[in-house]
Amino acid sequence: HDALPTFVLEPRVIVETVLRRGCALLEEPAFSAWTTMGKSKQIGNHNSDKKKSIAKLWKTKRRVKDLDQIHQDMIPENARKLLKQEVDFDMVGNAQHYCLHCARYFVDLKSMKDHFQTKVHKRRLKKLREEPYTQAEAERAAGMGSYIPPKKVVVTTQPVEEDMS
C-alpha cells in the first residue's frame, strides 16, 4: 500500500467501510451520495411541468377587467345588456346583481348595496373619472401633436332597482 486514495470521505463512510471489511483503510473506498463535497445535483423532477405555469397562475388568478374595458361597458347600450342579464344558474347570484364599475357579480341585492359603500368601490369610481388612454393621446405624447390633458368623466354609482319578489 504505497498510496492512499486522494478524495475526502466523511467519518461515517470510513467507519462503515472499516466495520464491513474488518481492516484499516482499503484500496477502494465505498462510494455513496455523501462522499462528494458540496451541493448535490438534482437532475429530474416529476412535477416540473406543474411548476412551469405557476407564475402565470399567480398573475391571472384574480384578473379583473381593465379600466378601458369598463369604460366600454359603461356605454349605455352595453350597460343595459350587463345590468339586465338573463338568469344564469352558473353565475354568482344567477347573474342578476352586477356592479358595472367593479365588474363583479353579487349573491343578492343587500351584498351589492353593501359593496357600494366600500373603499374598493369608491376607489374604482375615482379611477374611472379619468378618460381612458387612446391612440390619439399616445401619438401626441410621442411628439405628433400638442399635449391635451385627459378629460374628466362623470361617474356615479349605478341605480339599483329594488324589485324583491
pLDDT value for 77? 92
Residue segments in the chain with a per-residue pLDDT below the cut of 70: 1-53, 162-165
Residue with cell 406543474: 50
pLDDT value for 122? 93
pLDDT value for 114? 93
Within its chain, how far is the Cα of 17 from the centroid? 53
Instruction: State pTM to two decimals.
Output: 0.56
